[in-house]
Amino acid sequence: MIQHASLNRFFLERIIPLGLVVTLFLGLINAWHLQYRFEQELARKQVELLRIGATTLAVPMWNFDQQGISDLVDTLLADPDVASVAIHDADGTLLLARHDNHRLGGQQAQSKPILFEDMQLRRVLGSVELVFTRQRLASQILWSVLYTLLAVGLMVLVVSLWTLSFNSRHVIAPLNAILDTLRALRAGKGFSPVGTHAPGEVGQALRAFNTLGRQLDHARHEIAQQARHDGLTGLLNRIGFQERLADWLKANPGQPLGILHLDINHFRWINESFGQDAGSGILHDVAQRLLVITDGRTALPPARLGGDEFVLVYTDADATRLAKEVRHLQQAMLTPMSVADEELFVSFSIGGALFPLHANTMESLLKCVEQALHQGKERGRGDYRLYRPTTSRLPASEMISLERDLHYALHHDGLRLVVQPIVSRHEAAISGAETLVRIEHPTRGELSPQTFIPVAEESGLIIPISQWMLEQGMAWLATISTQGYQDLTLSFNVSVREFHDGGLVERLSTALARHELAADRIILEVTENLMLEPSQGILDQFNAIRALGCRLAIDDFGTGFSSLSYLQSLPFDIIKVDRSFVRDMPHNRQHTLLVGAIAEMGHALGLAVTMEGIESAEQASQCWRLGADHLQGYYFSKPLPMEHFQDHLAGGVDCSTLP
């Protein structure tokens, strides 16, 4: 940082040399004036002394009075400006001479004739010569200059000290106060007004600074308030909430904490039915009701994270306490709200998480409660769900590390595509394959999809991973098609997030055209959870995929939101019965009957039926008898690297279980 000289130093560096110059100048002017005046005075004195000397010496010289002449010479020599006196006769002969050895500096000799005259006679008797000295002039000039320099110097010193004192009290001190205030503001501290006792323009400037400072401080507080509070509801926003939560966790280390993440059910319907102004009014009313409901019950004020999402924080909470608070909240929300003269009932989908049980950092805690909310919404809106880890093999603290590993694998060729054969009843051979992704972790070894897929879903990395799988899978399918396998189909799992993100149909169309593949050879598998509340956008994408020529399959059928209504109304081609039903068939008659019913239902609706998780000949034989069109499982083959799949195709599969 550049160090600037102080104002006092700046003043001294300029006023002292200026004072010295002025002092010297005034001393020189005074010396010149004294010299001029003394020269005038000395000139008059020389004329007068010569006149007096010549006049008074005439009588003694006429009378040859040596004593009289000597006395008169002494009298002339007594003058301080006369250095010597000499008397000459008419012939120029020196008659008498006297001098003062202390007055020999700066001599100037002048003479005048001695004239004796009376009524009858006029005669030149001789001359008087006076030598005048300038020693007294030099001494007077020297002392005068010294006095002048001393007086002016003292005056400059007094003026400088007074000026420095004045500047320090009325200029520099206020400026330093302003600088200290500005430094405090830069450090994030509040504004402190400076003293305004300085006179004149400085005082006016200080008062103006205080006025401006108060306005800026008020604006800063308002900006900070707006940056940390929601403008619509007045609640803490996401930034303000995270700051307050971080401060609370820092001030109360290790103290149990419970957090609820609230999402208004079907809020989109309110906006579409009554308009966004009404929706904003509902959000404001919900916020006010939350303030009343949670008054004195929460560790932090309620916060609005954005959209229709709110969050509540409870101290000393466990699972039982959170469930109790949820019931209290749901009971309080039973009172309807008024919108456009109509009554409207508002309910929440709620996710919950506990600190430090589920997470030991603020960031991971917020991720856990958000995941719990989404898990609850997948089961059905209006439900409460406490966080349950989906990555049981990893502690929550390593979620961020795993996300970083996913980024690295995606951008450094760390992903590996494998395919699992699907066997056809009608062809008694492999008719297709399902694509799966694997990651070889440098320390954990191969990670299963159950470990990293939830993290990919949470972080959004599932989209680029799926794009990579689509490109790699189609390139492989195009390659083996040139080797005689033109009818082989390839299935891809599509996540809910891909449908919400958009662009899936365009990616499919582009990839099919680039690899010159028939669209009916591509099957997209979606889970039943996507059917919980299918938006018009998702339905449009389903229809666009079918219009493109690709086929749609419902994956893990029977484990989620199974409903005949969407099987009838949505354009699916295949249902894949979940492995949990197939696994227990040999020992559970009800599961056998249920799988048979699913197969009959699918065929009645014109859908092909694929049964997953086949691990034994007995299971395969039962599934064929129950009407399965396709089977898939470890009994036929584990997922294989793409380069080994062709060998499996050439070797065929065991079809002895076919009826």
Same domain, 371 and 444: no
Structural domain range at position 435: 421-651
- Is 165 contained in some domain? no
Measured in residues, the chain has a length of 659
Residues 609-613: what's their mean pLDDT? Answer: 93
1: confidence class by pLDDT, cuts 50, 70, 90: very low
Q: Are residues 548 and 452 in the same domain?
A: yes
- Domain check: are 259 and 365 in the same one? yes
Domain-located, residue 172:
no
pLDDT band per the 50, 70, 90 thresholds, residue 617:
confident
- C-alpha to C-alpha distance for 314 and 309, rounded to whole angstroms: 17
What strands lie across the sheet with 82-89, from one edge to the other?
94-99, 82-89, 122-132, 108-117
Q: Can you tell me the mean pLDDT for 405-430?
A: 86
Residues 446 and 577 in one domain: yes
For residue 48, tell me if it sits in a domain.
yes
Please give the C-alpha separations between residue 2 and each of 5, 174, 184, 287, in angstroms, as whole numbers.
Answer: 10, 21, 19, 52
Q: What is the largest CA-CA distance in the chain?
A: 189
pLDDT of 138-189, one tens digit each?
Answer: 677 777 777 777 777 787 778 777 777 777 776 777 777 777 777 776 766 6
Bridge partners of residue 636, in order along the sequence: none
Please identify, among 228, 255, 290, the residue that sits at the C-terminal boundary of a domain. 228
The per-residue pLDDT for 3 is 47
Confidence of residue 33 (pLDDT cuts 50, 70, 90): confident
Number of domains in the chain: 4
The token pair that represents 520 in the structure block: 């009916």
User: Could you write out the DSSP letters of every residue in 175-210?
Assistant: HHHHHHHHHHHHTTPPP-PPP----HHHHHHHHHHH
Task: Note whether residue 405 is domain-resident.
Answer: no
In Å, how far are 300, 329, 331, 347, 576 from 335, measured between CA atoms? Answer: 24, 11, 8, 10, 44
The token pair at 319 is: 């699972």
- Claim to verify: residue 252 and residue 221 sit in the same structural domain: no
Whichever domain contains 319, its CATH number is 3.30.70.270
Residues 385 and 432 in one domain: no
User: Does residue 194 lie in a domain region?
Assistant: yes
Mean pLDDT over each residue of the chain, to the nearest integer: 81
Q: Would you place residue 551 in the very low, low, confident or very high pLDDT band (cuts 50, 70, 90)?
A: very high
Say whether pLDDT at 470 is over 50.
yes
Which residue matches tokens 């395969």?
620
> SS3 of 126, please?
strand
Residue 2 is predicted with a pLDDT of 43
Strands 429-441, 415-424: parallel, antiparallel or unpaired by DSSP? antiparallel
Place of tokens 């940082």: 1
Question: How far apart are alpha carbons 292 and 287 in whole angstroms?
Answer: 9
Per-residue pLDDT, 550: 95
Domain with residue 624: its CATH number is 3.20.20.450
Q: Are 45 and 87 part of one and the same domain?
A: yes
| Domain stop point among 105, 139, 173 | 139
In this structure, the answer to whether residues 360 and 499 fall within a common structural domain is no
Domain co-membership, 584 together with 605 = yes
Q: Is residue 111 part of a domain?
A: yes
Which tens digits make up the pLDDT trace of 489-502? Answer: 999 999 877 887 77
Short-list 105, 104, 123, CA closest to 114: 123
Looking at the structure, do residues 356 and 434 belong to the same domain, yes or no? no
Domain CATH code at residue 105: 3.30.450
pLDDT at 438 over 80: yes
Domain contains 447: yes
Task: Based on the fold, state whether residues 533 and 427 are members of the same structural domain.
Answer: yes
Instruction: Identify the pLDDT of residue 389.
Output: 66
Q: How confident is the model at residue 631 (pLDDT cuts 50, 70, 90)?
A: very high
- Helices assigned H by DSSP within 482-588: 496-501, 504-515, 536-548, 564-569, 579-583
Residues 336 and 371 in one domain: yes
Residue 147 counted as domain residue: no
User: Is the predicted pLDDT of residue 608 greater than 90, yes or no?
Assistant: yes
> What are the tens digits of pLDDT across the range 78-92?
887 788 888 888 888
